[in-house]
A and B are shown apart, each in its own frame.
Chain A
Amino acid sequence: MDRTQLLIGVAVALFSIGLVGVVVRRNVLVMLMCMELMLNGVNLSLITFAQQTATTVGAVVVFLVFVVATVEIALAIPIVLLLVRDRHTLDIGAYNELRG
């Protein structure tokens, strides 16, 4: 198993852990962290492919993803804070007002 395959494997693992975390965990903060994991898994795969093909496009996209992730967290954390201040719980099941 060469290095590229290893790195891709790590990326897939990160993404899968994140995905499973988002799907099964009920804690809002943990779900957010899992989302970050998924983003990082994607980033890793991008970097790997960029190196393999010897181009810079992938690296540039990674920076873009960083920015998006930062902004997302910057928005998500205050939302979570407001939610918690209202209901005093981090359980996602408590916030289902949009149910049809």
Chain B
Amino acid sequence: MLTLIVVLPLVGFLLNGILATRLGGNVVGNRFVTVVGCGLPIASFALVVASCLTLAAGGYAPLVEVAYRWAQIGDGSFEVAFYFDRLAAVMALVVTGVGSVIHVYSVGYMKDDPSYGRFFAYLNVFLFFMLLLVLGRSLLVLFVGWEGVGLASYLLIGFWFDDLANARAGKKAFITNRVGDAGFLLGMFLLYTTFGTLDMDRINAAFGGTAPVVSASLVGLLLFIGATGKSAQIPLHVWLPDAMAGPTPVSALIHAATMVTAGVYLVARMAGVYVHAPEASAVIAVVGVATAFFAATIALVQTDIKKVLAYSTISQLGFMFLALGVGAYAVAIFHVVTHAFFKACLFLGAGSVIHALGGEQDVRRMGGLAKKIPLTFWTFAIATAAIAGLPPLAGFFSKDEILWFAFASTRGGTPWLWVVAAATALMTAFYMFRLLWLTFLGRSRMSAEVEHHVHESPWSMTGVLVVLAVLSAVGGFIAVPHFLEPQLALPAVHESLHAAETPLVVVSVVLALAGLAAAAFLFGGPSERVERLRARFAGVHRVLSAKYFVDELYARLIGRPLVWISDRVFLRLGDRALLDGTLHGMAALGRASGRVLARIQTGSLHLYAWLVLAGIAGALIWSSRHG
């Protein structure tokens, strides 16, 4: 059954990829693509639900299913085995559930695209690799999925590859991820040489047992480097904002709800290693909170609706890593789940807005849309409130638990982590409500032409929005940490801090409301307020708009030296001087010696015969001497 879950989307990919693309001659119509492309993920979702029931019936003993023996090397064997426990169940439900509704949404969103079949083929192959990643028992299978989703992401970012900028964004995502993958691979090598297995449950158990023979922190850090790439954490966060070049459903599915949380999943899955790695955990917490903070500050000033959401995603991923860093693995997964709901809803809502405005993404040319597309507005508003952390919506619960453990966990929680995270939460509320105001409320700033064409999206899109909005509203009541607790225990809390729990909740609610109020004050009122603020902090605004010049820094620090070395050392010295030089030298030698030797080519047959004669005579004399 587990194998079937994974294979169904692959079948969809093959069917659509072969029959519905130019490659196979587009032999089937869009209706077939829709049925296959959406039907198989939904079937997969149903199977996941069935597997969850089986899991519950079996007393939550992990289900293991060996699909295929990949290789047998000496005593070690590599198997494609699927492993279904509580953690995998939660992730698989999110991946297939949110994945399915986004597939349905895409039916409306991509309706007029000439490459409709190709789009669904890519989405299905993404789902296949993501399920491989989530359900794989061995790190190797996980890695195959890990690379596969990277490939799908690359293909979908560059889906409209006619535009060079999109193709470039896809390339940037791919290359940035390779940096992280190097760390991941090294971690895998280290684990395999130490334990002789890559099965994650065995590795966790091995670390829990006798004194570990390899530094848990080293393994943890190497794997975390992989996670920073996939989950867009500092310093490898630069690819995610550019990834918004892809179609909006892709941004929702891959770059918000599922793929970017793979790093969080990896760390949670290897929790058995990380509980023995306090140093690595501290690094994760600091990187997480720093990413959350800096991404949130950038999101304050972005004017592209999708870019705001992209930086918000990076920021929320930072929150998840903060939770992982302080040992609250189950809470991080909880935030993955709630974030999948509200961020997918936000992205799809943004897609609906873009759809309504005929491709406009700049919030400076929006405004006043609430009356024209009410369903999109209300769902977007609910999701905004959820991410801002207003009770009792989903984001409130998960974010509050993260803040609490950042404050009080005995595994590295400290007040200053809480302070930074709380400041980030305040900014989150502010920039999200800013986005809401600029897009839907206030005066319209659209051109008359665009305004005339504004229309609500078809039911396949709005229906999905409603489903996700409902989940964003009530998702917090799904007790994910409690469900995961037998597998991923929550960290102990400092006894002395127990009294602080309720005040902290109050503070975080106040912060969320403060963000709302500030946004309402600034963007609800006359526009001079914003202008004055921007004028006063012109320098800060410039730095934030330029995203802290990180891209420029990388170009200076890495790009330029690399180009210089490639040009001077590899091209001019290595290729032209050394390789070409050697070959040209040999050719010149051959030509020169040919010119000399050609002299004895007189054309006189008699001379040749004489030479042959002399040769034979010489050979005979030599052989009689030495014979």
Residues of chain A touching chain B, judged by Cβ–Cβ distance below 8 Å, are 19, 22-24, 26, 31, 92-93, 95-100
B604 at the interface (CB under 8 A from A): yes
Do A24 and B602 touch (CB < 8 A)?
Answer: no
Q: Does B498 contact A (CB under 8 A)?
A: no
Q: Which of A22, A31, A93, A95 has the most CB of B within 10 A?
A: A22
Contact pattern, B 11-45, Cβ under 8 Å of A = 1, otherwise 0: 00000000000000000000000000000000000
Quick check: A96 and B610 within 8 Å, CB to CB?
A: no
CB of B57 within 8 Å of the partner chain = no
CB distance from A79 to the nearest CB of B (A): 13
- Nearest chain A CB to B585's CB is how many angstroms away? 23
For B605, what are the chain A residues with a Cβ–Cβ distance below 8 Å? 31, 92
B602 touches A99 (CB 8 A): yes
| A-contact 0/1 string along B590-627, CB 8 Å cutoff | 00000001111111111001100100000000000000
Closest-by-CB residue of B relative to A98 is: B603
Contact across chains for B613 and A100 when beta carbons are under 8 A apart:
no
Contact A100 B604, beta carbon cutoff 8 Å? no
Residues of B within 8 A of A98 (CB): 601, 603
* Cβ contact of A100, chosen from B599, B606, B610, cutoff 8 A: B599
Which of A19, A92, A100 gathers the greatest number of chain B CB atoms within 10 Å? A100
Cβ–Cβ contact A100 & B609, under 8 A? no
Please, which residues of chain A bring their CB within 8 A of the CB of B599? Answer: 100
- CB of B610 within 8 A of CB of A23, answer yes
Given the known interface contacts A100-B597, A100-B600, A100-B601, the answer about A92 and B613 at a Cβ–Cβ threshold of 8 Å is no
Chain A contacts for B601, CB-based, 8 A: 98-100
Given A19-B613, A23-B609, A23-B613: A93 in contact with B604 (beta carbons within 8 A) = yes
- Which chain A residues lie closer than 8 Å to B598 at the CB level? 100
Q: Are A96 and B602 in contact (CB under 8 A)?
A: yes
Shortest 3 CB-CB contacts between residues of A and residues of B: A96-B603, A100-B598, A100-B601
Scoring A24, A97, A99 by chain B CB atoms within 10 A of each residue's CB, the highest score goes to: A99
Q: Inside 8 A of A97's CB, which chain B residues have their CB?
A: 603
Is chain B's interface secondary structure helix, strand, loop, or mixed overall? helix
- Which residue of chain B has the shortest Cβ distance to A26 in the bound complex? B606
Chain A, Cβ-Cβ closest to B605: A92
Tell me the smallest distance from the CB of B386 to a CB of chain A, in Å: 89
Residues of B within 8 A of A96 (CB): 602-604
Are A22 and B603 also in contact (CB < 8 A) when A100-B597, A100-B598 are?
no
B605 CB to nearest A CB, Å: 5
Highest count of chain A CB atoms <10 Å: which of B597, B606, B610: B606
Given A23-B610, A100-B600, 12 other A-B residues pairs in contact with their CB atoms under 8 A:
A19-B609, A22-B609, A23-B613, A24-B606, A26-B606, A93-B604, A95-B603, A96-B602, A96-B603, A99-B603, A100-B598, A100-B599
- 29 A–B contacts, CB within 8 A, in A order: A19-B609, A19-B613, A22-B609, A23-B606, A23-B609, A23-B610, A23-B613, A24-B606, A26-B606, A31-B605, A92-B605, A92-B606, A93-B604, A95-B603, A96-B602, A96-B603, A96-B604, A97-B603, A98-B601, A98-B603, A99-B601, A99-B602, A99-B603, A99-B604, A100-B598, A100-B600, A100-B601, A100-B602, A100-B603
| Smallest beta-carbon distance A84→chain B, Å | 15
A97 and chain B: residue at smallest CB distance:
B603
Determine the distance from Cα of A20 to Cα of B263 in the docked complex, in whole angstroms: 89
Chain A, residue nearest B606 (CB) = A23
Contacts of A26 in B (CB 8 A): 606
Which residues of B sit under 8 angstroms from A24, Cβ to Cβ? 606
Interface centre among B599, B609, B610 (most CB of A within 10 A): B609
- Distance in Å: Cβ of A76 to nearest Cβ of chain B: 13
For A34, give the chain B residue with the smallest CB separation: B609
How far is the CB of B225 from the nearest CB of chain A, in Å?
65
* B597, B602, B603, B610 interface centre (most CB from chain A within 10 Å): B603
